Amino acid sequence: MNQIFNRKNMKIIFNHIDDGIQIVNTKGELVFCNRKSAIIDDINIPDSLGKHITNIYPNLTKKNSTLLKVLEKGVPITDNEQNYLTYKGKKICTINSTFPIMDNDYLIGAVEISKNITDVKALSNKVVDLQSIVQGKKDVKNEKMKLFDFDDIISNDEEVIRAKDLAKRVANVDINVLVYGNTGTGKELLVQSMHLRSKRSNNAFIAQNCAALPANLLEGILFGTTKGSFTGAIDRPGLFELADKGTLFLDEVNSMSFELQAKLLRVLQNGYIRRIGGTDVRKVDVRVIAAMNKEPMEEVKNNHLRVDLYYRLNTISIKMTDLKDRKGDVELLTKTFIKKFNDKFYRNINGITENALEILNDYCWPGNVRELENIIEGIISITDNDKITANDLPKSLLNKVQERTKIEKIDGGIDLKNAINKFEKEYILNALEETQWNITKASKLLSIPRQTLQYKLKKYKI
Ligand SMILES: Nc1ncnc2c1ncn2[C@@H]1O[C@H](COP(=O)(O)OP(=O)(O)OP(=O)(O)O)[C@@H](O)[C@H]1O
Ligand SMILES: [Mg+2]
């Protein structure tokens, strides 16, 4: 029995579970985190182990962390909904149960089991929305949600200005557009602005994230279903019909199955859809704008995007630049967001200190503008200072900047070998994160043999 439940096997079992599992010791330091938890929370396991839990999540404090509460009180907290930010600034919603871990009446740690319900929540909101549209309670034309406009896209960066100009020029031309760039760079902002400045602006704007749904559900949502086409199916229009005369924004289109991509291509080419299980074809007049957070040509090479669909969508492609590559934008956006959240929270924060701004400028911004906006929102809502200072910044951000500065100092000539090793380790960790810790895929991504990668994992104790 003990052989089965040894440490190594338990780790394997935990890594196959589809819920996030995190374990902390009595000091609140992370001692175990399974693969699912790392994926949900965008965390890098080797980097996070040993760190205090509040140093891993930007908006976690002693007061709101369930793990720390369980450590303090020694009693479980079950089915607790938590909304928080990952270090990339992504908003996550989970249902957590947290339990104390006891050893002969002594508290030795706490474990938290989390179900990620972010997509399910978004989906249920969408279903409610669609139902009300279908039942005529909500008139898509009259009760329009407020869309972003080009003026909301704040930037002094040449590339972003060029992207905005191109988007403005094609906004009113009925062609497909492909927008790509990393998470939080403003792709949806740009797409909504294009719809608003087009002749379709009085009709529906519908956005669908194609990665949020399994293929068979997505097909029904896009093209509609007919009664009896599968168990429980009802006669229901899909998003193409609901977006008639308007714009359909297909986000993360590269995550669709190839089969569905082929169906999408057919609709784009001939303008007709057929509901699942139906025989009638219906003409739809929809402008499709697609987005993805990877380089489109790379996605074709990686077999994630059909080449024929790529050519169809790529008539005009617009790239959104990472925040770290936009000189001056961190300052401009920080000031804009301070104003925005001063108004929202009735605060009067008078700017940011030079030191704090320098730290923000040194940070790598994996979650781009969304991350910056969420961080400023968090600070303005709680700070007691009249200016944002370095002390207000999330610990996880300060740690990242510090680590980077250390590497830069070493790069300056103090110890080149050490610097190269650090860089190599960081690079390997990124590849592992990217491939969800699949060694074979990571070695392909790094273009090195699997054995070499394994040797390096041992060398760097990853
Ligand atoms: N240039 C900008 N000016 C002002 N706000 C911005 C800008 N870019 C992004 N934002 C803010 O960041 C948020 C995220 O932007 P958006 O939803 O467009 O990102 P995205 O590129 O679609 O990301 P994802 O790939 O994660 O969907 C927006 O809701 C907006 O509040
Ligand atoms: Mg988006």
- The owner of tokens 């969508």 is 313
Ligand 1, closest atom to CA 192? 18
Decide whether any atom of ligand 1 lies within 6 Å of the 186 Cβ: yes
The Cα 296–Cα 180 span in angstroms is 7
pLDDT of residue 217: 79
pLDDT of residue 415: 67
- The owner of tokens 């110890």 is 415
Q: Mean pLDDT over all residues of the chain?
A: 88
The Cα 33–Cα 345 span in angstroms is 35
Decide whether any atom of ligand 1 lies within 6 Å of the 236 Cβ: no
Q: Is 441 left (phi over 0), alpha (psi -120 to 50) or beta?
A: alpha
Q: How far is the CA of 188 from the centre of ligand 2 (A)?
A: 5
Residue 78, amino acid: T
- Structure confidence by residue, pLDDT tens digits, 417-450: 777 887 888 888 888 877 888 899 999 989 899 9
Q: How far is the CA of 7 from the centre of ligand 1 (A)?
A: 42
Buried b (16+ CB within 10 A) or exposed e, 297-331: eebbeeebbbeebbebbbebbbbbbbbbebeebbe
C-beta neighbour count of 31 within 10 angstroms: 14
Query: DSSP letters along 351-400, please?
Result: -B-HHHHHHHHHS--TTHHHHHHHHHHHHHHH--SSSB-GGGS-HHHHHH
Structural contact between residues 281 and 291, judged by C-beta atoms closer than 8 angstroms: no
Q: Are strands 177-180 and 30-33 parallel, antiparallel or unpaired?
A: unpaired
- Structure confidence by residue, pLDDT tens digits, 157-205: 999 999 999 999 999 999 999 999 999 999 999 999 999 999 999 999 9
The Cα 413–Cα 405 span in angstroms is 13
The Cα 281–Cα 194 span in angstroms is 29
How many alpha carbons lie under 13 Å from residue 126 in its C-beta half-sphere?
18
Q: How far is the CA of 319 from the centre of ligand 2 (A)?
A: 13
Backbone phi, then psi, for 101, in 5-degree steps?
-110, 120
Decide whether any atom of ligand 1 lies within 6 Å of the 86 Cβ: no
Ligand nearest to the CA of 292: 1
Q: How far is the CA of 292 from the centre of ligand 2 (A)?
A: 8
Ligand 1, closest atom to CA 190? 18
pLDDT of residue 130: 67
For residue 393, what are its two tokens? 């910044």
For residue 370, what are its two tokens? 């969304």
Q: How far is the CA of 281 from the centre of ligand 2 (A)?
A: 31
pLDDT of residue 277: 87
| Distance spanning both ends of the chain, measured CA to CA | 29
pLDDT of residue 64: 85
pLDDT of residue 279: 87
Strands of the sheet with 106-116, listed across from one edge: 30-33, 20-25, 106-116, 91-103, 77-85
Q: Whose CA is nearest to atom 12 of ligand 1?
A: 370
Look up the pTM and report it.
0.68
Beta strands in 397-457 (DSSP E): none
Q: Whose CA is nearest to atom 31 of ligand 1?
A: 370
Q: Whose CA is nearest to atom 27 of ligand 1?
A: 183
Set out the domains of the chain in order of their start, with CATH numbers: 7-116 (3.30.450.20), 120-319 (3.40.50.300), 323-404 (1.10.8.60), 415-459 (1.10.10)
Which of 369, 371, 377 for mutating ligand 1's site (highest number of atoms within 8 Å of CB)? 369
Decide whether any atom of ligand 1 lies within 6 Å of the 293 Cβ: yes
Question: Considering Cα of 62, then 65, then 68, then 72, what sign does the dihedral take?
Answer: positive
pLDDT in tens, the chain (462 residues): 567 777 788 888 898 998 999 999 999 999 999 999 999 988 889 889 999 998 888 778 888 899 999 999 999 998 888 878 787 778 888 889 999 999 988 999 999 999 988 887 777 666 666 655 555 545 444 445 689 999 999 999 999 999 999 999 999 999 999 999 999 999 999 999 999 999 999 999 999 999 877 777 788 889 988 876 665 566 788 899 999 999 999 999 999 999 999 999 999 999 999 998 888 899 999 999 999 999 999 999 999 999 999 999 988 999 999 999 998 999 999 999 999 999 999 999 999 999 999 999 999 999 999 999 999 999 998 888 899 999 899 988 888 887 766 655 555 555 677 778 878 888 888 888 778 888 999 999 898 999 899 989 888 888
Query: DSSP letters along 181-230, please?
Result: -STTSSHHHHHHHHHHTSTTTTS-EEEEEGGGS-HHHHHHHHH-B-TTSS
Which of 370, 371, 374, 375 for mutating ligand 1's site (highest number of atoms within 8 Å of CB)? 370
pLDDT of residue 145: 67
Decide whether any atom of ligand 1 lies within 6 Å of the 212 Cβ: no
Q: How far is the CA of 244 from the centre of ligand 1 (A)?
A: 26
- Structure confidence by residue, pLDDT tens digits, 328-368: 999 999 999 999 999 999 999 999 999 999 999 999 999 99
Angle made by CA atoms 31, 183, 426, in degrees to the nearest 5: 45
